[in-house]
């Protein structure tokens, strides 16, 4: 016997197989996928210590839960060396955001800290880079993951090794500690 629409609207609904079941049996489950990401932060304009401290709080509010925070390190500028020293650090986060949404969120944080993009590797109030996002390998015009220079930069590897020494680079298949040992960047990275 077929049920009328009015009978189905009351206490019964069709399940995925087309059978009629009591409506109280329906349970909806929402699954949120939590991703792990590591971000590098740097500053060499303004009160860099205060800017980086606030940036970590901003990341927690806008990007995801901050799980690990390295200490800050003073380093000479990399790329363009004729500029003030940087303060650098690395944070590990858990996030629900996809990589491009995370990029947009960190760019907004940079903007809030008056980041002006004029010269590549030039002076800046705040620079935030996505180093890793899960084990993802991604190459897009606006975003490359893992960060293409992370294995060449002592100012990234030293703080990253403090919070994730056994993290494996998904392309190079080396841990952070192994990358640091092979890194040819000889600029001083001094904990402050």
The residues annotated with a catalytic role in the active site are 115, 124, 127, 129
Is the alpha carbon torsion for 55, 123, 84, 151 positive or negative? positive
Question: Is 129:43 a contact under the CB 8 Å cutoff?
Answer: no
The position carrying tokens 């294995």 is 151
Question: Is 77:42 a contact under the CB 8 Å cutoff?
Answer: no
DSSP 111-163: HHTT----STT---S-EEEEEEETT--EE-SS-EES-TTGGG-HHHHHHHHHH
Nearest to 143 by CA among 155, 133, 153: 133
CA–CA dist 150, 60 (Å, integer): 23
């Amino acid at each position: 016997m077929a049920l009328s629409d009015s009978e189905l609207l009351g206490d019964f609904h069709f399940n995925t197989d087309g059978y009629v079941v009591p409506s109280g049996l329906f349970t909806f489950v929402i699954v949120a996928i939590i991703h792990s990401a590591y971000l590098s932060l740097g500053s060499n304009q303004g009160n860099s210590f205060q800017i980086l401290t606030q940036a970590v709080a901003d990341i927690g509010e806008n990007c995801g839960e901050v799980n690990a925070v390295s200490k800050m390190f003073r380093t000479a500028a990399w790329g363009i060396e004729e500029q003030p020293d940087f303060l650098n650090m690395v944070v590990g986060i858990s996030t629900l955001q996809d990589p491009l949404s995370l990029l947009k969120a960190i760019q907004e944080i940079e903007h809030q800290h008056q980041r002006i993009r004029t010269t590549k590797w030039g002076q800046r109030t705040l620079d935030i880079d996505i180093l890793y996002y899960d084990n993802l390998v991604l190459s897009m015009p606006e975003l490359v993951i893992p960060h293409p220079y992370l294995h060449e930069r002592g100012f990234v590897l030293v703080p990253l090794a403090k919070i994730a020494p056994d993290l494996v680079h998904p392309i190079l298949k080396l841990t952070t500690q192994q990358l640091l040992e092979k890194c040819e960047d000889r600029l001083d990275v001094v904990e402050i």
